[in-house]
Structure 1
């Protein structure tokens, strides 16, 4: 593992950090046994910082980390978490949330405390409520050590926030597709020039740059004499920047952890060749031509009051264009509820706007859901759901019933023998 030093406090931070927003799940909840095993493994291999936040995993992420960071593991890692800025209505709320987070994390002091997803409007509100005084008092009281912020805002807003206070750290979205989006490369360099340590989220753009990638992109990667996965290429690009202190990856599988550890142990700043950098430009062009909706699947827009599974709607839509594979049938089965039993399709949207206010990417979600509905649902979608349920669900229920009877019969046979 390589480590990068924060000059302000002397901390040696692992180039790879553990993001606790996308932990492995089972039945919709954190798979505690698997997640604990994965986090312990990463720490044992040199990862020394974990990023979480108040809303991650429905509020369960901080509590889970508090449960497992025992037996010396708390001393091995720095914890980064964030004040839920959208829920702060008065000064006392800031105090209350910090106390709750300290209790959930089962710690006396949070190493890096960030104001979460600052926007121009929320930042102005928090300044009026006295956020800087609160943060400084919390640091003086020993409740937090380092002060920072996270932001998905544009470059202008980002610079305004940077210039407003003597921040220790900031957290921004950055990957080879977002060079000019949000803070972008210019924001990264600007914060670094002000002595602020920059941490990175979404290095794989919510997984869009890893795993299954468009064939044309894969062909470009495979031209290289050095064999690397798309995830390796994506993470390598971010770590190549000398202004980057640490990259948080939302790892939820052992193979992902091992691969990311390998990359973080290899990449030194400015180590990519000119030929390799030109290859990134070619891949970016492939994605720009294919990807329709710039959604990372972060889930900040959820839950939808009408039950729409917004990230999955966008995922199916993007998948159809990126891989030229019709998603209508699986969309009907999963989001239409024919197979899943839970309707969550785009056409349920009533344009209440709640998701728009929550989206870090500033997507016009209701409008985009309308496009998804038009292309993946079409006319008579509710009728298709009705027909599908009347045919598929009885067959499925019958199969389950048969399997259950067969299982009981097998058990009785074993018992009698």
Structure 2
């Protein structure tokens, strides 16, 4: 297993981290015996960073991780979990959730504690008004948390101000071959690393969608390479090739995937891909983009929408449905756009009033209003209100 160092602390972390959001299930619940065996296997083979959160598996991930890390495994890892920021309304809430998480995880400290979905400067301001700085400083002083960070899924322009708002030790961003320019992107990765933050990467395989299934046109590109690798290995090696990356999280839930990822993590040094290998990855990435329903780059020029529609996110989720044949695409659409994760207003495509302001702003000349109408028909059809209620039940206090 290769390890990289958090610049501010000297902490050496395995480049492969274990994400506990997609654990194996049986009868709708975490398959505890199998999941424990998988997690401990990864730790026994060098993984020393384990990531969970309050909301994962409907609140059952943290208690599971606490049990799975018994028998001496807690001492072998750096444990990460996240404050559910969308549930915070008062300073006391932050203390309540941290103490509850310590109890669930059966530990007296969290090694890497993140403010979950700290996506915008507005959200940051709300958290600061609730005493975020004082909370983090106090929790550190008490030894309840060791390192403070945040996870980010927001617009690129809000990333640097959040990085600069507190002396964070690390941050967590989405980054993969399709997201070089989306969200924090490469610019954000380099900015955070330049400030001395460790950078934890989530969704390196877009939730597994870059590997299962692979569009046939993309599979042909991988097959044409003189160097033969699985799609997962290509995608992970691309992320690890960036020296600014500290840890890449993988939500591993199949034994063969765990074994493959561990093998790759023994070899994936920074700057180790050849020019030819980077070219192959670039061709595959462009083919993915060709397969997208909407040629949106996530540049955000169309934002803000006067009616509150998150236009780039609507397009991203719509593209994902067709590129990756995700059977849960409509549910992801509701969760991401309903505001339940950030305690913010809804941002659905159906809120578009055809004001046409976005048409003048889009550098890709996308017919945004017409496409939003299509998205309404395909993503907000039968069962839409039921999915919204499910999202509220999952995430609203």
Give the 3-state SS of the residue equivalent to 2:98 in structure 1. Answer: helix
User: What does residue 371 of structure 1 align with?
Assistant: 374
Structure 1 distance, partners of 2:342, 2:225, is 37
Structure 2 distance, partners of 1:10, 1:377, is 48
TM-score normalised by the chain length of structure 2: 0.79
Classify 1:97/1:262 alpha carbon distance in 2 versus 1 (closer, same or farther; 3 Å): same
Q: CA deviation at 1:189?
A: 0.4
Higher relative contact order (CA 8 A, sep 6+): 2
1:358 to 338, 341, 351: 341
| C-alpha contact (below 8 Å) 1:86/1:122 kept by paired residues | no
| C-alpha contact (below 8 Å) 1:85/1:117 kept by paired residues | yes
| C-alpha contact (below 8 Å) 2:86/2:340 kept by paired residues | no
Structure 2 distance, partners of 1:84, 1:168, is 19
User: What does residue 192 of structure 1 align with?
Assistant: 193
Q: CA deviation at 1:81?
A: 0.5
User: What does residue 87 of structure 1 align with?
Assistant: 87
More helix as a share of residues? 1
**Structure with greater Cα Rg:** 1
Classify 1:353/1:7 alpha carbon distance in 2 versus 1 (closer, same or farther; 3 Å): closer
Classify 1:89/1:279 alpha carbon distance in 2 versus 1 (closer, same or farther; 3 Å): same
| C-alpha contact (below 8 Å) 2:337/2:347 kept by paired residues | no
* Cα displacement string for residues 150-194 of structure 1 (whole angstroms, at most 9, x for unaligned residues): 111122100000111111000000001000000000100000010
* Cα displacement string for residues 30-69 of structure 1 (whole angstroms, at most 9, x for unaligned residues): 1111100100110011000101111000010001011121
Give the 3-state SS of the residue equivalent to 2:71 in structure 1. Answer: coil
Classify 1:53/1:151 alpha carbon distance in 2 versus 1 (closer, same or farther; 3 Å): same
User: What does residue 262 of structure 1 align with?
Assistant: 263
User: What does residue 304 of structure 1 align with?
Assistant: none
Structure 2 distance, partners of 1:129, 1:214, is 46
User: What does residue 168 of structure 2 align with?
Assistant: 167
Q: CA deviation at 1:364?
A: 5.2
Structural mapping, 1:102-181, within 5 Å = 102-118=102-118, 119-181=120-182
Q: CA deviation at 1:322?
A: 4.1
Structural mapping, 1:190-229, within 5 Å = 190-229=191-230
Classify 1:217/1:126 alpha carbon distance in 2 versus 1 (closer, same or farther; 3 Å): same
The gaps in structure 2 that reach 5 residues or longer are: 296-315, 351-370, 384-397
Q: CA deviation at 1:6?
A: 1.6
Structure 1 distance, partners of 2:318, 2:159, is 32
